[in-house]
Amino acid sequence: MTATATEKTELLSLRPDELAALLKGWGQPSFRAGQLFGWLHQKRAHTFDEMTDLPAALRQRLAERCALTAPAERRRQTSADGSTSKLLLELADGNCIETVLMRHDYGASLCISSQVGCRMGCRFCASTLGGKVRDLTAGEMLGQVYAATELLKTHIDSLVLMGIGEPLDNFENVMRFLDLIHDPKGLCLSHRHISLSTCGLVPRIDELAEKKLQLTLSVSLHACDNETRDRIMPVNRTYPIEELLAACRRYFAKTGRRISYEYALIAGVNDSAAQARRLAELLSDQVCHVNLILVNPVTETGFCRGSRREAERFCAILRQSGLSATIRREFGGDIDAACGQLRRREQREHREE
């Protein structure tokens, strides 16, 4: 996490030991790193002047050499029932990302983005339209969490990395983020309260398994055969279903954590009774849960959702086969809460101005 002569060091991305090394290089006593970390992650200072227990000279040097930036609210939408709030946040370079707060009976869950755009090319997803712009830093991911709690005046009970981007395509920054958000001197959020979604990058799943984190791995499966999955998820051409499921078995063997399989039901594509039976057969030897989703309509994709009754039929077949399966509760359908939709609207409106 070094900076060039023309760049400033992004402090929010630095682990405690890295902050300590930075300040030691400036001749500061070791306890200053703990003070600075507290200002960043507990008190969440917006300016260096707020850090009143740091010497003025140190605050001046930090301001000259380091960045202390938070994403700015560009747009906010809240569902009619108040259960969901979606923030369009603008980063320091002008790029925008989405963060969604979902209020449950058991607490508040925040969905954050890990990239600006996405290069995975899933045909039903608005996030991938226009491709990937860049990765987010760990600090920019943390910035979403801190901004959401401040702007929406709420406490976060759980976190999902299911927003814009493929988290495992930004592996190092995401691992750094997971370290920082779990730090006992920061937000101290248990990894058991974090879900990480992937479209199926097999080598990265194996790499994540080696870390033995106690998070929930959510695998976007969305098809029960390679022909269908090839058509709607280009990643399957590199890592077909058989390789992906084998990686998931290895992940469970290493971590003991049950896999959650996401399955978006697309009318006429992957939602037949025969496909439900095939899916049940595929997952019969897995310790897993299947999360069925009525696909979100995105104008550019042309895909449609079936009825709730058809989804219940699909779910019943899975359950009758012995699988744990539920239909995901929908949040924010009236506010474009599906991944990438609000950002896409903002881009269209900007082009039309």
Q: What residues are annotated to the active site?
A: 98, 339
Can you read off the two tokens belonging to residue 92?
């320091």
Q: Which of 14, 52, 50, 47 is nearest to 33 (CA)?
A: 14
Q: In this structure, which amino acid lies at residue 296?
A: N
Please report which helix (H) or strand (E) contains residue 264, including its range.
strand 259-265
Give the β-pairing of 194-198 and 158-161: parallel
Alpha-carbon radius of gyration of the chain: 21
Cα gap 286→161, rounded to integer Å: 23
Strand partners, 194: 159
Burial class (CB within 10 angstroms; exposed 0-12, middle 13-18, buried 19+) of 196? buried
Please report which helix (H) or strand (E) contains residue 327, including its range.
strand 324-327
Instruction: Answer yes or no: are the C-beta atoms of 314 and 350 closer than 8 Å.
Output: no
Long-range contacts of 206-209 (CB under 8 A, 24+ apart): 206/247, 206/250, 206/251, 207/171, 208/168, 208/171, 208/251, 209/247, 209/250, 209/251, 209/254, 209/255
CA distances from 296 to 34, 98, 115, 285 (A): 45, 16, 20, 30
DSSP string covering 19-37, please? HHHHHHHTT--THHHHHHH
Could you give phi then psi for residue 323, rounded to 5 degrees? Answer: -85, 150
DSSP state of 225: S
Give the β-pairing of 115-117 and 132-135: antiparallel
